[in-house]
Amino acid sequence: MRQGFFWGLGLMGLWICAAPAAELRNENLKPVRTVKTQDFFKPDALPAWGRVVTEPEALAAVARETLVYMARNPENPAVTPGIFSELGLSQADVQRSLQLIVDTAEADARAGRPSRLLNSQWLQQHFRLIRWQPDRAGAAASKVALRQPGQIRLTKYVVFEGQGSPVQTASHCCALYALPDEEAGLDAEAAEARKAQLLRYRYTKQQVVSGALKGKAVKPLVWLTRQGLEDALMQGSILVRMPDGSQRMFNVHRNNGIAYNKALKEPRKQGRYWYFKEVRGILGYGQDDKIKVEPGVTFAGDVYNLGLGKIIGLRYSLGGQPVFRLGVLADTGGAFVPNLYQLDFLAGVFSSRAAYLEGVKHLPEQAEAFVLIAR
């Protein structure tokens, strides 16, 4: 029998049977460090939840999309309970929790009643809480200061709007490139197996910006300013307004195989470069098949170690009163390999940096974090 935490009928619904250990993996799924899961995740009760803030329909939409992705990609390395398996949590528990969010939102909408997902008493009745204590050693190793004990770091990611051009101009000098033509018939796994022969893996971001792909069999999807390109690469998506008034959404597709370097604080010095594709909306985790996500209810994080699809609750102070924000772990990024001290919150679509700063000023830099598991 696997040792770990077992769901029961005690005060917090769990009994500790051992001190399980887990291997943290990087984005290549190679072990980098062994940790004791219960050092960071323990069952807890929260007497005062505060006002629940979320958009129930959007939350259910991301939960539904995540369930669909899991069903289509059961062998994906992020479709696991992650290190929570050491606590006795199964993939069925993850999917059951997401399904409860979907079913509740749909039932309340059909009945025309207030959403129970905004009712803290209902949430307490139907979900157990696992409190997340941040990995302070991991944060320190990445030179991240966690000033509030017991709280994870909360960063924000966004989709910026940018002006685009169908052709290269003096101001719009940087392309978002589609995958090279040679990869048209290759899925991600087949492409990885042939990486030594593929154009995509040959150039750094700086080389691409300097024109290394000109004359090659690779299509520019749209032309952006230099800063527009950096915004797209950093955030993973960009909403582009074209000269004719139309809008086009682009999302990262596959990268050049260069890992994100946490030690480089200047984004333009990063060697990683992404090739893009035009998409139907904001997309989160996945390679060719991705999860459609929504602002305000989506978190990016360490899906390879935490496992995709965890329902996250953040508790922090807003206007002097506690609030409890719900979202789904449905995205990731280069900064999360591994990372047990941080989440990135999808804050919205903004026309400028000034609009972004105004739009996120009510959000904290750190917050108490919990994983919610259906009873």
pLDDT in tens, 249-308: 999 999 999 988 888 889 999 999 999 999 989 999 998 899 999 999 999 999 999 999
How far, in Å, CA of 78 to CA of 22, rounded? Answer: 15
State the DSSP string of 271-291. Answer: ---EEEEE-SS-EEEESSSEE
Hey, do 5-157+291-374 and 159-285 end up sharing a CATH topology, with the first three levels equal?
no
Token pair listed for 65? 């999309």
pLDDT of residue 209: 96
Q: Does domain 5-157+291-374 have CATH number 2.40.40.10?
A: yes
For the domain 159-285, what is the CATH code? 2.40.240.50
Candidates 263, 270, 269, 291; CA nearest to 279 is: 291
pTM for the model stands at 0.83
Q: What is the pLDDT of residues 318-355, one digit of tens each?
A: 989 999 999 999 999 877 889 999 999 999 999 888 99
Quick one: what percent of the chain has pLDDT higher than 70?
Answer: 95
Give the model's pLDDT for residue 97.
98
What is the domain partition of the chain in residue ranges? 5-157+291-374, 159-285
Helix (H) or strand (E) holding 305: helix 303-306
State CA 280 to chain mean position distance: 18
Q: What is the largest CA-CA distance in the chain?
A: 67
Strand, helix or coil at 240?
strand
pLDDT of 19: 53
Within 10 Å of residue 278's Cβ, how many Cβ atoms? 14
Burial 352-372 (b: 16+ CB within 10 A, else e): eeeebeebbeebbebbbbbbb
| CA atoms of 182 and 195, how far apart (whole Å) | 11
Between helix 91-111 and helix 56-72 the angle, nearest 10°, is 140
Task: Quote the DSSP letter at residue 179.
Answer: P
Q: What is the pLDDT of residue 28?
A: 82
pLDDT block averages, 10 residues each, the chain of length 375: 38 46 87 93 92 97 98 96 95 98 98 97 97 96 93 96 96 97 92 94 97 96 96 93 95 93 88 94 91 97 97 95 97 88 96 92 97 98
